[in-house]
């Protein structure tokens, strides 16, 4: 079996996907049209020319404009179901999906509209494609802790639909400790916690996410390699990293895929996983990320199997479900 076919054949979990970042230009235009919203782009081609980023902020500025087309439950449903179709084509068996309620409630879209559209699509995806899922509600870190606290309270009627809270948006200047009280309360309400840290931000942000926010996973975390004590701690506490190779190159965290550090992360015994982040903006879904990084770094079949296994180990699935998926991977590995 070629390594490309192995990548396609392996069952995988995706743990770092912003659902708003899966909104493809074609669907964005279609939804804008039916909602009678004028996009600041004359065509899909024109929009795509804007997808040229210098850093995280230059991406976020465009990404938040794209979310403005989402108004009705149907919009959220269509966007989510389109992602699940792509996920199914890539043999994703489990997805832990981020959503940013504040991008919508700030535009007077009710929380209920957002969560119902997303979760109905996930339920249909589960029935149609057999993809299990969890939802993770992210707080926008460029907004205040007070606003995050309000969003946390607003989520409570839908708590049974949300497994964890996360932290995303502009990292530098918005350290994890800003949200310490919010995360403490979220944990008291029974949510698990994750946070973006060490994407652009200093490794100290990863320490803060661990110690102040008590996260179970770090999103990105690639800058941990700058701090040997931190590497040791992440290994000791078995904290996985949800790494997004295409995103890191598009947002200039690494100059190109050949310079990416995921192999070093694995060599340091970190539980690194591969994810797509915002696939509609960064040029590919999960298999594209696996294939791209495999080629660029010359990863072998053992590395690929390790990454697929890590995706389930790092998930919030039950031990039983983790085992079932890991056994599937073992079966495929034995056929090699």
Closer of 6 and 21 to Zn ion (Cβ): 21
| Tokens, residue 68 | 């403005």
- Would residue 199 show up in a list of annotated catalytic residues for this protein? yes
Q: Is residue 90 a contact point for ligand ADE (CB under 6 A)?
A: no
Q: Footprint of Zn ion on this chain (CB under 5 A)?
A: 277
Give me the numbers of helices (H) and strands (E) for the chain, helices first please.
17, 8
Q: What is the closest distance, in whole angstroms, from the C-beta atom of residue 261 to ligand ADE in the complex?
A: 16
Pairwise CA distance, residues 215 & 219, whole Å: 10
Binding mask 232-251 for ligand ADE (x = CB under 6 A): ---------------x----
Crossing angle between the packed helical segments 25-34 and 73-89, to the nearest 10 degrees? 160
**Residues 40-79 interacting with ligand ADE (rule: CB under 6 A):** 56
Beta strands in the chain (DSSP E): 12-18, 92-99, 132-140, 164-168, 192-197, 217-220, 241-243, 272-274
- Is 168 one of the binding residues for ligand ADE (CB under 6 A)? yes
Say which residues have a Cβ less than 8 Å from residue 186's Cβ, sequence separation at least 6.
152, 165, 193
Q: Is 143 exposed, middle or buried (0-12, 13-18, 19+ CB in 10 A)?
A: middle
Near ligand ADE by CB under 6 A: residue from 10, 12, 14, 18: 18
Distance CA 196, CA 80 (A): 21
* The only residue of 12, 93, 94, 196 in contact with ligand ADE, by rule CB under 6 A: 196
Q: Segment 105-134, which members bind ligand ADE (CB under 6 A)?
A: none
Whole-number minimum distance, CB 169 to ligand ADE, in Å? 5
- When asked if residue 199 is in the footprint of ligand ADE (CB under 6 A), the reply is yes
For residue 141, give the DSSP letter.
T
CB 209 within 8 Å of CB 175: no
Question: Given the complex with Zn ion, which of 90 and 277 has the nearer CB atom?
Answer: 277
Q: Which residues in 271-290 contact ligand ADE (CB under 6 A)?
A: 277-278
Residues sharing a CB contact under 8 Å with residue 149, sequence separation 6 or more, in sequence order: 181, 182, 185
Q: Which of 169, 261, 289, 325 binds ligand ADE (CB under 6 A)?
A: 169
Catalytic residue among 199, 200, 208, 212: 199
Give 277 or 303: the residue with its C-beta nearer to ligand ADE: 277
Q: Can residue 96 be called a binding residue for ligand ADE (CB under 6 A)?
A: no
Q: Which H helix or E strand runs over 100?
A: none
| Shortest Cβ 138–Zn ion spacing (Å) | 8
Q: Which does 169 bind (CB under 5 to 8 A by kind): Zn ion, ligand ADE, none?
A: ligand ADE
Residues that bind ligand ADE (CB under 6 A): 18, 21, 56, 168-169, 196, 199, 247, 277-278
Active-site residue set: 199
């Amino acid at each position: 079996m070629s390594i490309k076919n192995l990548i396609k054949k392996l069952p995988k979990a995706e743990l770092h996907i912003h659902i708003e970042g899966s909104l493809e230009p074609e669907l964005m235009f279609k939804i804008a049209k039916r909602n009678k919203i004028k996009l600041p782009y004359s065509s899909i081609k024109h929009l795509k020319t804007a997808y040229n980023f210098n850093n995280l902020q230059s991406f976020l500025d465009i990404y938040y404009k794209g979310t403005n087309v989402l108004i009705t439950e149907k919009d959220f449903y269509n966007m989510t179901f389109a992602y699940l179709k792509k996920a199914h084509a890539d043999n994703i068996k489990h997805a832990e999906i981020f959503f940013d309620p504040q991008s919508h409630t700030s535009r007077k879209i009710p929380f209920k509209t957002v969560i119902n559209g997303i979760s109905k699509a996930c339920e249909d995806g589960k029935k149609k494609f057999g993809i299990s899922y969890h939802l993770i509600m992210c707080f926008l870190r460029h907004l205040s802790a007070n606003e995050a606290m309000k969003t946390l309270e607003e989520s409570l009627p839908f708590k049974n639909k949300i497994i964890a809270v996360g932290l995303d948006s502009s990292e530098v200047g918005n350290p994890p400790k800003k949200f310490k009280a919010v995360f403490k309360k979220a944990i008291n309400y029974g949510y698990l916690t994750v946070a973006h840290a060490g994407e652009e931000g200093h490794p100290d942000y990863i320490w803060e996410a661990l110690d102040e926010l008590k996260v179970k996973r770090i999103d990105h975390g690639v800058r941990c390699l700058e701090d040997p004590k931190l590497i040791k701690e992440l290994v000791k506490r078995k904290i996985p990293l949800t790494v997004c190779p295409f995103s890191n190159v598009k947002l200039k965290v690494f100059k190109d895929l050949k310079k990416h550090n995921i192999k070093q992360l694995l060599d340091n015994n970190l539980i690194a996983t591969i994810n797509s982040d915002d696939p509609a903006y960064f040029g590919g879904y999960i298999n594209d990320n696996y294939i791209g990084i495999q080629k660029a770094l010359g990863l072998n079949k053992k590395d690929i199997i390790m990454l697929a296994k890590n995706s389930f180990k790092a998930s919030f699935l039950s031990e039983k479900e983790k085992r079932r998926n890991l056994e599937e991977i073992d079966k495929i590995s034995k056929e090699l």
